[in-house]
Amino acid sequence: MLSVVVLISGSGSNLRALLEATENPLFGAKIVAVGSDNAADGLAHAEQFGVPTFVVSPGSFDTRENWANVLLANINHFKPDLVVLAGFMRILPGNFVSALSPNLINTHPSLLPAFPGAHAVRDALAAGAQVSGVTIHVVDEGVDTGPHIAQASVPVLADDSEYDLHERIKVVERELLIATVKDIANKKIHLPSLAK
């Protein structure tokens, strides 16, 4: 059974989808803890499923590296095989990434390499993109630059607001994230060979 820690910053709809999918013992993965950089609303999903949570806020630390070391210690306490960033909105420093690589993946709401960063949906609309989507990738030390694992496209509609488009992307994103974690658990995806 693949043990997974999920990190979130917000509402946690991707987390919830993973919690529901992994309830089935045949799925092959189990969420052992959920962490956040703030008292995120999405932590309530973990509590409903009886999954332990932790919050490590960067505001209490002098440097990003010190914050990330404490975040990492909280994660390592659960000895996960995989860490999933599901709407985790902080950039992680190199010491954190290299400690977990390649077993650290992120889901991002655009077709990378287009529109990296914290405002991918807004940026896609501002650029007049006709298609956007979701990318799941291995995390490296850049911002949304790591090797791609899976992508799915979502059309941009004429009257889309940022909210509308993001919600439609999230419908596809949740399915792609579930399928990706399942494929990692069942060894159909081998992260070390992707990360080379």
The footprint of ligand GAR (CB under 6 A) covers 8, 10-15, 42, 86-87, 89, 107-109, 118, 120, 170, 173
Q: How far apart are CA 195 and CA 101, in angstroms?
A: 8
Closest listed residue to residue 99, CA positions, set 70, 131, 59: 70
**Ligand-binding site membership of 92 (annotated):** yes
| Min dist. Cβ of residue 135 to ligand GAR (A) | 9
Known binding residue 14? Answer is yes
Dihedral sign computed on CA atoms, order 47, 80, 139, 184: negative
Contact of 97 with 104, CB cutoff 8 Å: yes
Shortest Å distance, C-beta 86 to ligand GAR: 5
Q: Is 1 annotated as ligand-binding?
A: no
Kindly report the three-state secondary structure assignment for every residue of 69-112.
Answer: HHHHHHHHCCCCCEEEECCCCCCCCHHHHHHHCCCEEEEECCCC
Location of structure tokens 């509308």: 164
Residue with smaller CB distance to ligand GAR, 34 or 75: 34
Is 166 annotated in the active site?
A: no
Q: Name the minimum Å distance from CB 81 to ligand GAR.
A: 21
89 marked ligand binding residue: yes
Q: Which residues are catalytic?
A: 108
Instruction: Detail the residues annotated as belonging to a binding site for (6R)-10-formyltetrahydrofolate.
Output: 64, 89-92, 106
Instruction: Detail the residues annotated as belonging to a binding site.
Output: 12-14, 64, 89-92, 106
